[in-house]
């Protein structure tokens, strides 16, 4: 019964989860959890890399100490959110704390890049949804604003690749995380170097790309000694958290879509090849790469970040609520009072979410929410309607109906949103497992070391090991009537 350790780092929190693979079942044990350290430094938002690294070592230390005598950790793997990166200098040192994707330095960078290379050409090469936070535009802004820092760098590593470097000393980029950058061609899985040169961006920074479920190498001896463990194998699972989450969707057949629900909601399907055409460009869908080389054809949607920011704003005003309390208040509030667009640009930056929602409602001539429950209900109903619009876009592009929606990740715990999604979309929703990302991470490690063979085998283990909950559509007529108002 091999033990695998998954480090699953989300935008709000991180965790170390130990997985024990016992034949056709998997058992999980959370060893460590922490809030993601970040903050503002010299006017910019950064991740606190040193604190993150210490938290990972704490997780490894706790996991190693938790095992009975004679048992060992076979491997570890790291997954994180996409697009953010760190820079390695010639001497191997990390040059600065990585920027957060919500930092304002990329404001206007996308439009400046389009002046050099057209939006259409960028999409035809990369097939990636346009967002100013994409690595392509982060690097464009960095090269514009801090050229000396870029000149001093030897290697660019995305966040999970950066932690893998600290664990092993090896500089590799795993394919799923690289595919979030808008800097590769998803048809080939190679860097789009011609595009980068046309944007006057350096290509010497780009490391070798390796497939998901690849052994990178053994743990550094000094890290192993510090954490009280052996020189276990470090594996690149699906290093993008959504890639790992999708690998753990307990689906069968092919007529389903997924929502990886957390700070972000990523909604899409698995495809055998990229879908890059006029319609997918116009509707702004994305082609990222998943475990097993599958294409994750999806849309990135501002997810429960909206609720997280409402909670922070309320706490700042002296009103402390748990997420469960806010969801209960939302369930008791008047339905369909107001709508917001989760994609509205100001919602993506931290702070003043209640004010931003109020201003949006005023600008769109709607009655604004006034109570905590109304604010959260507005966010949840608007997310459910955005899922419906995204589902319609998927069906239009694919040319067939999707029968069931699988929701995985931390957002599955919000039963109100799950039921709203079923009602708004008119499809059954299957919610679970909650820890899908850590599960997918662990099962990709098991594939890498030869314990299981395929992605289908991994999903069978998920079905054998974890409970799910089904939500059938109920009051669809009311949601159908409200959808027209949401669209306006």
> pLDDT 10s per residue in the chain (488 long)?
899 999 999 988 999 999 999 989 999 999 999 999 999 999 999 999 999 999 999 999 999 999 999 899 999 999 999 999 999 999 999 999 999 999 999 999 999 999 999 999 999 999 999 999 999 999 999 999 999 999 999 999 999 999 999 999 999 999 999 999 999 999 999 999 999 999 999 999 999 999 999 999 999 999 999 999 999 999 999 999 999 999 999 998 889 999 999 999 999 999 999 999 999 999 999 999 999 999 999 999 999 999 999 999 999 999 999 999 999 999 999 999 999 999 999 999 999 999 999 999 999 999 999 999 999 999 999 999 999 999 999 999 999 999 999 999 999 999 999 999 999 999 999 999 999 999 999 999 999 999 999 999 999 999 999 999 999 999 899 999 999 999 98
The residues that are catalytic are: 241
Regarding whether 290 and 269 lie in a shared domain, the answer is: yes
CATH assignment at residue 293: 3.30.420.40
Q: Which residues neighbour 251 within 8 Å (Cβ) at sequence distance 6 or greater? A: 258, 404, 406, 430, 459
Regarding whether 214 and 271 lie in a shared domain, the answer is: no
Q: How many domains does the chain have?
A: 2
Regarding whether 140 and 89 lie in a shared domain, the answer is: yes
- Rounded distance between C-alpha atoms, residue 249 and residue 432, angstroms: 8
DSSP state of 449: T
Q: Which residues neighbour 181 within 8 Å (Cβ) at sequence distance 6 or greater? A: 82, 83, 128, 134, 135, 136, 158
Regarding whether 157 and 48 lie in a shared domain, the answer is: yes
Regarding whether 142 and 290 lie in a shared domain, the answer is: no
Inside any domain, residue 274: yes
Domain with 419 in it: 249-432+453-488
pTM: 0.94
For 443, the token pair is 């099962």
Regarding whether 87 and 230 lie in a shared domain, the answer is: yes
Q: Which residues neighbour 60 within 8 Å (Cβ) at sequence distance 6 or greater? A: 5, 16, 73, 76, 223, 227, 229
Q: CA dihedral defined by 315, 435, 217, 62, rounded to 10 degrees?
A: 70
Cross-strand bridge partners of residue 433: none
């Amino acid at each position: 019964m091999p033990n695998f350790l998954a480090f699953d780092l989300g935008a709000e929190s991180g965790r170390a989860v130990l997985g024990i693979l016992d034949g056709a079942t998997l058992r999980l044990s959370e060893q460590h959890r922490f809030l993601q350290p970040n903050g503002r430094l010299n006017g910019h938002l950064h991740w606190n890399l040193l604190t993150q690294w210490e938290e990972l070592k704490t997780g490894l230390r706790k996991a190693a100490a938790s095992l009975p005598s004679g048992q060992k950790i076979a491997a570890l793997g790291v997954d994180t959110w996409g697009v953010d990166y760190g820079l390695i200098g010639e001497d191997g040192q990390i040059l600065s704390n990585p920027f957060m994707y919500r930092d304002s330095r990329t404001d206007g960078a996308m439009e400046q890049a389009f002046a050099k290379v057209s939006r259409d050409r960028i999409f035809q090469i990369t097939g990636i949804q346009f967002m100013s936070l994409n690595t392509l535009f982060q690097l464009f802004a960095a090269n514009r604003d801090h050229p000396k820092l870029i000149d001093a760098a030897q290697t660019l590593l995305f966040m999970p690749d950066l932690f893998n470097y600290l664990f092993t000393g090896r500089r590799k980029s795993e394919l799923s995380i690289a595919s979030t950058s808008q800097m590769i061609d998803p048809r080939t899985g190679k860097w789009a170097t011609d595009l980068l040169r046309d944007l006057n961006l350096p290509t010497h920074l780009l490391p070798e790309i390796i497939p998901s479920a690849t052994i990178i190498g053994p743990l550094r001896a000094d890290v192993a000694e510090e954490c009280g463990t052996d020189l276990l194998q470090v594996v690149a699972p699906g290093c993008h958290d959504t890639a790992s989450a999708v690998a753990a969707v307990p689906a069968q057949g092919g007529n389903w879509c997924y929502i990886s629900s957390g700070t972000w909601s990523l909604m899409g399907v698995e495809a055998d090849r990229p879908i890059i055409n006029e319609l997918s460009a116009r509707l702004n869908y994305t082609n990222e790469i998943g475990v097993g080389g599958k294409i994750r054809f999806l849309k990135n949607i501002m997810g429960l970040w909206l609720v997280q920011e409402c909670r922070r704003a309320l706490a700042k005003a002296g009103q402390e609520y748990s997420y469960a309390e806010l969801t209960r208040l939302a369930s008791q509030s008047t339905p369909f009072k107001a709508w917001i667009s989760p994609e509205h640009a100001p919602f993506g930056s931290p702070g003043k979410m209640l004010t931003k929602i109020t201003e949006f409602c005023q600008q769109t001539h709607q009655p604004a929410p006034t109570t905590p429950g109304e604010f959260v209900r507005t966010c949840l109903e608007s997310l459910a309607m955005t899922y419906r619009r995204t589902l319609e876009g998927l069906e239009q592009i694919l040319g067939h109906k999707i029968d069931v929606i699988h929701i995985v990740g931390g957002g599955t715990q919000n039963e109100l949103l799950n039921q709203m999604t079923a009602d708004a979309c008119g499809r059954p929703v299957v919610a679970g497992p909650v820890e899908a990302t850590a599960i997918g991470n662990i099962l990709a490690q098991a594939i890498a070391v030869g314990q299981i063979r395929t992605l289908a085998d991994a999903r069978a283990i998920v079905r054998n090991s974890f409970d799910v909950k089904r939500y059938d559509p109920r009051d669809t007529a009311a949601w159908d009537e409200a959808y027209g108002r949401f669209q306006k």
